[in-house]
Amino acid sequence: MFLTYLRRELRRRLRQAIFISLGLALGVGLVITVTAASNGVKNSQSSVLHALYGVGTDLTVTQPAKQGSSAATTFGFTQDIKDIRSGVIAAGTKINISNLSTVQYGILGPAALDKVARQPGVTGTVGGLTLTDATVTGTVPSISAGQGAASYRSSFTTNSFSVAGVDVSNGALGPLSAGRITSGHVLTRREANSDDALVDADYATQNGLKVNDAVDVGGTNFTIVGLISAPQEGNPPDVYIPLAKAQGIGKNGSAGLAHDVDTIYVTAASSADIGSVQREIAAALPSATVTDSSDLASEVTGSLNSASSLANNLGRWLSVAVLIAAFLLASLLTMAAVSRRVREFGTLKALGWPSWRIVGQVMGESIAVGIVGAAAGVGLGFGGAALIDRLAPKLSATVGPVNTASVTGSGRALGTGALKALDGYSHTVSVTLTAPVTVDLILLAVALAVAGGLIAGMVGGWRAARLRPAAALARVD
Partner 1 sequence: MYQLTNVIKKYRKGGATVAALQGVDLVIDDGEWLAIQGPTGHGKSTLLQIIGGLDRPTSGTVEFDGASLTGMRERRVTKVRARSIGFIFQTFNLIPTLSAAENVEAALVPLHVGAAARKARAQQALAAVGLGDRLRHLPSELSGGQQQRVAIARALVKDPKVLLADEPTGNLDEDTRDEIIGLLQRLWRSRGLTMVLVTHDSSVASRAQRLGLMRNGLLSVTKAPT
Q: Report the candidate in 441, 451, 452 with the shortest Cα–Cα distance to residue 35.
A: 441
Binding mask 70-99 for partner 1 (x = CB under 8 A): ------------------------------
Residues 387-446 touching partner 1, rule: CB under 8 A, are none
- Name which position in 347, 404, 426, 434 contacts partner 1 (CB under 8 A): 347
Question: What are the start-end ranges of the H helices in 87-195?
Answer: 110-118, 149-155
Secondary structure of residue 250 in the 3-state scheme: coil
Number of residues that bind partner 1 (CB under 8 A): 27
- Name which position in 189, 343, 394, 475 contacts partner 1 (CB under 8 A): 343
CB of residue 40 to partner 1, shortest distance in Å = 46
- Name which position in 215, 348, 363, 397 contacts partner 1 (CB under 8 A): 348
Q: Does 350 help bind partner 1 (rule: CB under 8 A)?
A: yes
Residue 340 backbone phi and psi in degrees, to 5: -75, -15
Asked if residue 448 lies in contact with residue 296, where contact means CB atoms within 8 angstroms, the answer is no
Residue 259 backbone phi and psi in degrees, to 5: 65, 5
CB of residue 355 to partner 1, shortest distance in Å = 8
CB of residue 345 to partner 1, shortest distance in Å = 10
Residues 12-41 touching partner 1, rule: CB under 8 A, are 12
CB of residue 313 to partner 1, shortest distance in Å = 46
CB of residue 374 to partner 1, shortest distance in Å = 24
State which residue, 365 or 423, has the beta carbon closest to partner 1: 365
What distance in Å separates the CA atoms of residue 156 and residue 149, rounded to the nearest whole number? 11
- HSE on the CB side for 376, CA within 13 Å? 18
Q: Does 8 help bind partner 1 (rule: CB under 8 A)?
A: yes
Secondary structure of residue 52 in the 3-state scheme: helix
- DSSP, residue by residue, 170-216: -TTSSGGGG-EEEEE----GGGTTSSEEEEEHHHHHHHT--TT-EEE
Which segment (354-362, 382-390, 415-423, 443-451) binds partner 1 by CB under 8 A? 354-362
Q: Does 354 help bind partner 1 (rule: CB under 8 A)?
A: yes
Q: Does 317 help bind partner 1 (rule: CB under 8 A)?
A: no
What sign for the dihedral angle of Cα 270, 277, 39, 390?
Answer: negative
Cβ burial, residue 432 (10 Å; 0-12/13-18/19+): exposed
State which residue, 168 or 338, has the beta carbon closest to partner 1: 338
Q: How far is CA 337 from CA 300, 342, 345, 464, in A?
A: 53, 9, 11, 10
Cβ burial, residue 301 (10 Å; 0-12/13-18/19+): middle
Task: Assess whether the previous peptide bond of 236 is cis (omega < 30° from 0).
Answer: no
Asked if residue 465 lies in contact with residue 358, where contact means CB atoms within 8 angstroms, the answer is yes
CB of residue 20 to partner 1, shortest distance in Å = 18
CB of residue 477 to partner 1, shortest distance in Å = 6
Q: Does 190 help bind partner 1 (rule: CB under 8 A)?
A: no
Q: Does 115 help bind partner 1 (rule: CB under 8 A)?
A: no
State which residue, 1 or 391, has the beta carbon closest to partner 1: 1
- Name which position in 353, 382, 425, 462 contacts partner 1 (CB under 8 A): 353
**Run of H or E including 356:** helix 355-391
Residues 435-474 touching partner 1, rule: CB under 8 A, are 468-470, 473-474
CB of residue 352 to partner 1, shortest distance in Å = 2
Task: Please give the biggest Cα pair distance in the chain.
Answer: 121
What distance in Å separates the CA atoms of residue 149 and residue 135, rounded to the nearest whole number? 18
Q: Does 145 help bind partner 1 (rule: CB under 8 A)?
A: no
Which segment (24-32, 162-170, 353-361, 363-371) binds partner 1 by CB under 8 A? 353-361
- Name which position in 82, 357, 394, 466 contacts partner 1 (CB under 8 A): 357
State which residue, 9 or 280, has the beta carbon closest to partner 1: 9
Site of interaction with partner 1 (CB under 8 A): 1, 4-5, 8-9, 11-12, 343-344, 346-355, 357, 468-470, 473-474, 476-477
